């Protein structure tokens, strides 16, 4: 068990290293000389300045040396500087990380909880109108572009119902105290999180329905029923635990897609997270920030996958046992 966890962590570290190399590669295959890019905006065709920048950024050294020094710098948390803000990329990202984590976490919690509930409810009565409705909703949810769903919700809530804020994550004056602060962010969070959560709600309900249908047909469920357990207990205690395993797997696998969705949702709602930062960086041609966001997001996905794998062994003791007998 410990050994397999260690191996899993080593694998994650390997992936992180690979992402660093990719980032380095992307910087280098970009058309154009990075030195000209740095100098470019300030309008200098000055060869001396170019030379100085090259030495300053180490662009005159061999590629492999540059790669090693890049990896070394990234490992110590140095992602370079933003040309636009003239600030370190790390500090910019640190500032924007929290809103993204909050948005993605809320959307995911909502999607998993509601999706599993819908899936279980519809699996118990597979031919009911509710069940067919959920199938249709899953298809619809999957087919809507997430940024458009967001815009439609904004139109609905801003011009028709006027219930919720539609931009940013804070009002200009949200009152004094921590509670007012939290409530204000929470209010701003509802629509973006709902938008992002809806697609995954659709997918998780479909997935948990399928796996629940399968589990409910298994022998041990029949045994549980035969020995006279109440239906509720059979479904929610015995069957559910096995039925959520595929959902957990998919959360890990889809975390990258979730972050991609967050990127679009943040752009629609002006949510000050990493996605919004990436979008703005493209407009500003601020490549180091863009690549920094790519790196940090990939690390987030790797960590999420690692956590899912560990969560697995808690939910499903068979995985633990199998590994123990192998070692």
Q: How far is the CB of 51 from another protein (least distance, A)?
A: 25
Residue 316 — φ and ψ, nearest 5°?
A: -115, 95
Q: How far is the CB of 184 from another protein (least distance, A)?
A: 22
Closest CA to 104 of 318, 324, 300, 306: 300
CB nearer to another protein: pick between 144 and 245: 144
Q: How far is the CB of 23 from another protein (least distance, A)?
A: 9
CB nearer to another protein: pick between 50 and 144: 144
Q: How far is the CB of 320 from another protein (least distance, A)?
A: 22
Q: How far is the CB of 98 from another protein (least distance, A)?
A: 18
Kindly state the greatest CA–CA separation across the chain.
Answer: 86
CB nearer to another protein: pick between 111 and 295: 295
Q: How far is the CB of 263 from another protein (least distance, A)?
A: 6
Cα distances (Å, whole numbers) of residue 78 to 41, 70, 74, 295: 24, 9, 5, 12
Tell me how far apart the alpha carbons of residues 166 and 191 are, in angstroms, rounded to a whole number.
7
Residue 204: count other Cβ atoms within 10 Å of its Cβ: 28
Complete DSSP assignment for 56-81: HTTTTS-HHHHHHHHHHHHHTT---E
- Token pair recorded at residue 24: 């380095």
Complete DSSP assignment for 145-202: -HHHHHHHHHHIIIIII--S--SSS--S---SHHHHHHHHHHHHHHHHHHHHHHHHHH
CB nearer to another protein: pick between 297 and 313: 297
Q: Are strands 87-88 and 81-82 parallel, antiparallel or unpaired?
A: antiparallel
Q: How far is the CB of 245 from another protein (least distance, A)?
A: 16
Tell me how far apart the alpha carbons of residues 139 and 141 are, in angstroms, rounded to a whole number.
5
CB nearer to another protein: pick between 19 and 89: 19
The residue assigned the tokens 């804020």 is: 165
Residue 189: count other Cβ atoms within 10 Å of its Cβ: 20
Tell me how far apart the alpha carbons of residues 81 and 119 are, in angstroms, rounded to a whole number.
47
Q: How far is the CB of 109 from another protein (least distance, A)?
A: 19
Tell me how far apart the alpha carbons of residues 291 and 324 are, in angstroms, rounded to a whole number.
41
CB nearer to another protein: pick between 188 and 209: 209
Interacting residues with another protein (CB under 8 A): 14-15, 18-19, 22, 26, 29-31, 126, 135, 139-140, 142-148, 151-152, 154-155, 158-159, 209-210, 213-214, 253, 256-257, 259-261, 263-264, 267-268, 275, 278-279, 282-283, 287, 290-291, 293-294, 297-298, 301-302, 305
Q: How far is the CB of 317 from another protein (least distance, A)?
A: 26
* C-alpha count within 13 angstroms, C-beta hemisphere, residue 251: 29
């Amino acid at each position: 068990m410990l050994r397999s966890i260690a191996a899993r962590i080593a694998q994650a570290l390997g992936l992180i290293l690979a992402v660093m190399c990719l980032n380095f590669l992307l910087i280098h295959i970009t058309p154009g000389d990075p030195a000209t890019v740095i100098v470019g905006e300030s309008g200098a065709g000055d060869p001396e300045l170019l030379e100085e920048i090259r030495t300053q950024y180490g662009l005159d050294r061999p590629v492999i040396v540059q790669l090693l020094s890049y990896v070394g710098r990234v490992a110590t948390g140095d992602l370079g500087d933003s040309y636009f803000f003239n600030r370190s990329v790390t500090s910019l990202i640190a500032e924007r990380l929290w809103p993204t984590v909050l948005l993605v976490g809320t959307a995911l919690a909502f999607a998993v909880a509601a999706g599993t509930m819908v899936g279980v409810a519809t699996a118990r009565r597979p031919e009911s109108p509710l069940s067919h409705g959920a199938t249709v909703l899953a298809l619809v949810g999957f087919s809507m572009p997430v940024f458009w769903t967001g815009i439609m919700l904004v139109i609905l809530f801003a011009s028709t119902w006027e219930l919720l804020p539609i931009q940013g994550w804070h009002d200009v004056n949200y009152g004094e105290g921590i509670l007012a602060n939290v409530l204000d962010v929470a209010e701003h969070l509802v629509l973006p999180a709902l938008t992002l959560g809806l697609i995954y709600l659709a997918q998780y309900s479909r997935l948990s329905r399928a796996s629940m249908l399968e589990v409910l047909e298994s022998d041990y469920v029949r045994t549980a029923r035969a020995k006279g357990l109440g239906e509720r207990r059979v479904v929610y205690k015995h069957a559910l635990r096995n039925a959520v395993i595929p959902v957990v797997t998919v959360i890990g696998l889809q975390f990258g897609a979730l972050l991609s969705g967050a990127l679009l949702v943040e752009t629609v709602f002006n949510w000050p997270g990493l996605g919004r930062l990436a979008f703005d960086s493209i407009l500003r041609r601020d490549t180091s920030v863009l690549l920094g966001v790519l790196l940090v997001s990939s690390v987030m996905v790797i960590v999420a996958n690692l956590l899912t794998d560990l969560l697995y062994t808690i939910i499903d003791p068979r995985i633990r046992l199998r590994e123990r007998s192998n070692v």
